[in-house]
Each structure stands twice: as structure tokens, then as C-alpha cells.
């Protein structure tokens, strides 16, 4: 079964999502349609923002999905749209995405799934801290202090990390970024200045391969919805 993936978010999601999906749902083949793969000469952090989110992602899907359907007819068995929720309302965002896709008649008979990481994909890592950050060689020595600081100073609820922060209407995103809090926790003043800083670009994709879905879905309801759907879909193929 072939799943076309239209992914939003930043580089961490781009680099980590497809390997995570392929590892956990091996009966399906996941093909990334957006964002377009970055050209080798483009370097992260040089102003080449190629990933989209929210309304920008929807516009990209409307552009790219018809092209994929024309170039590869009768190939796709499931259209998966994945995005960071960024404290938006999941039901509203899902409706916006599905309403937009419904304007493309060529895919009317293809099943669609909209999945979210709330507020960001780092919530999955925090939900299974013991199998991710606590074991990573760059972070394990500091992980207890990092966890304490995140829970006390940033009020991150480790048993329900999807609920972190609040929606900022003016910015159309969370008031506080979960990923930024995670970075800040790795560079506390008390740590050796030579200690490795948490990198969303490097650590997040790697740690996504270490998390155990059974652990994450106990604490992340939106993750559970995504996981259960794909588990059923790919197992029945």
C-alpha cells in the first residue's frame, strides 16, 4: 500500500517523519510529496525555508497533489497530511485541510488522513523521555536536570505534553515553543559549556527513531489517533 505524505513543519519533521513511519508501519510504503526535497547546495539556516505549515501547507498541497495525481495515476492508496498543530484547534485545522483537498475531484475516491503533532513533534519525544533523551549519548548525563527544569520552569506536563502552551492569535502559533524550551534545557548555566546543545535539526529526527509508540500513545491522544489509523490501514494491506 502506497501512502503519499504531505508534511508540514520544519527540517526535523522533514528528516524524521518518513523514517519513523516506515519503521513502525513496514507494510506500507511512504512517499514524501511535500515539502520538495532540498537541493544539495542549499544549507539549513541560510534563509531557504522550504517546509510549510498551516495555511501555507494547504496551499502547497493544492498545488502539488494534482501534479502527483497526473504523473502517477492509480498509485496512491492513502493521502496523509501531517503538520505541527502549534496550539491551533485540531478539528478546525482538519476541516480546512479536507475541505481544500475536496476541491480536487481526481482524488475523491482515495482515503485521506490528517494527522497532527501537538504542539510540535518534540511532544512525542518528551512523552517517551526514558527511551529517547534519557538514553542519548549527548544528553543522558544531563537528562534528569533537563527534565526537572522543563517541568518546574516551563510547566511542561510530561504526562500530557500535547497540552503545552496556549494559542497566540496574533502570531497564529503557540505562545511558547516546546522545541525552544527543550533547547534551553540543554544549555543551563550550571552545565559544562562544552556540553552538546540540543539540536532540533539533528537530535529530533534521531530521537524519533528511538521512541516506543505504545508509550507515546498513552500520553498523546492525537498521536494515538494517527498511530491507530495507520496501524489498522497498513496491517490490512
Cell readout for 236 is 490490512
pTM, two decimals, is 0.91
- The whole-number pLDDT of residue 13 equals 76
- Determine the topology of domain 2-119+219-235 in CATH: Rossmann fold (3.40.50)
Q: Residue 38: pLDDT band by 50, 70, 90 thresholds?
A: low
Burial of 231: CB neighbours in 10 Å, binned 0-12, 13-18, 19+: middle
What residue spans define the domains of the chain?
A: 2-119+219-235, 122-214
- The whole-number pLDDT of residue 14 equals 76
| Cα 73 from Cα 63, distance rounded (Å) | 16
- The total number of residues shown for the chain amounts to 237
Produce one character per residue of 64-94: b if its CB has 16 or more CB atoms within 10 Å, e if not.
bbeebbeeeeeebbbbbbbbbbbbbebeebb
Q: Is there a contact between 29 and 2 (Cβ–Cβ < 8 Å)?
A: yes
- pLDDT tens digit sequence for 95-145: 999 999 999 999 999 999 999 999 999 999 999 999 999 999 999 999 999
Q: Is there a contact between 185 and 146 (Cβ–Cβ < 8 Å)?
A: yes
Question: What is the DSSP-derived secondary structure letter of residue 44?
Answer: T
- pLDDT tens digit sequence for 50-61: 557 788 899 999
- % of the chain surpassing 90 pLDDT: 86
Amino acid at each position: 500500500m502506497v501512502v503519499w505524505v504531505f508534511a508540514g513543519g520544519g527540517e526535523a519533521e522533514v528528516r524524521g517523519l518518513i523514517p519513523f513511519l516506515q519503521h513502525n508501519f513496514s507494510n506500507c510504503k511512504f512517499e514524501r510529496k511535500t515539502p520538495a526535497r532540498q537541493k544539495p547546495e542549499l544549507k539549513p539556516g541560510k534563509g531557504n525555508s522550504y517546509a510549510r505549515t498551516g495555511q501555507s501547507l494547504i496551499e502547497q498541497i493544492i498545488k502539488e497533489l494534482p501534479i502527483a495525481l497526473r504523473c502517477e495515476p492509480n498509485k496512491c492508496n492513502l493521502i496523509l497530511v501531517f503538520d505541527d498543530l502549534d496550539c491551533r484547534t485540531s478539528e478546525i485545522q482538519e476541516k480546512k485541510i479536507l475541505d481544500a483537498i475536496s476541491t480536487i475531484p481526481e482524488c475523491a475516491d482515495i482515503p485521506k488522513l490528517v494527522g497532527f503533532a501537538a504542539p510540535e513533534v518534540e511532544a512525542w519525544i518528551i512523552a517517551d523521555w526514558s527511551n529517547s533523551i534519557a538514553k542519548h549519548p549527548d544528553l543522558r548525563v544531563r537528562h534528569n536536570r533537563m527534565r526537572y527544569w522543563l517541568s518546574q520552569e516551563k510547566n511542561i506536563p510530561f504526562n500530557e505534553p500535547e497540552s503545552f502552551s496556549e494559542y497566540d492569535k496574533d502570531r497564529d502559533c503557540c505562545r511558547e515553543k516546546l522545541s525552544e524550551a527543550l533547547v534551553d534545557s540543554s544549555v543551563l548555566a550550571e552545565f559544562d559549556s562544552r556540553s552538546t546543545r540540543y539540536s532540533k535539526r539533528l537530535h529530533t529526527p534521531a530521537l524519533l527513531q528511538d521512541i516506543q509508540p505504545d508509550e507515546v500513545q498513552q500520553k498523546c491522544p492525537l498521536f494515538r489517533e494517527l498511530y491507530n489509523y495507520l496501524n489498522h490501514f497498513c496491517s490490512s494491506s
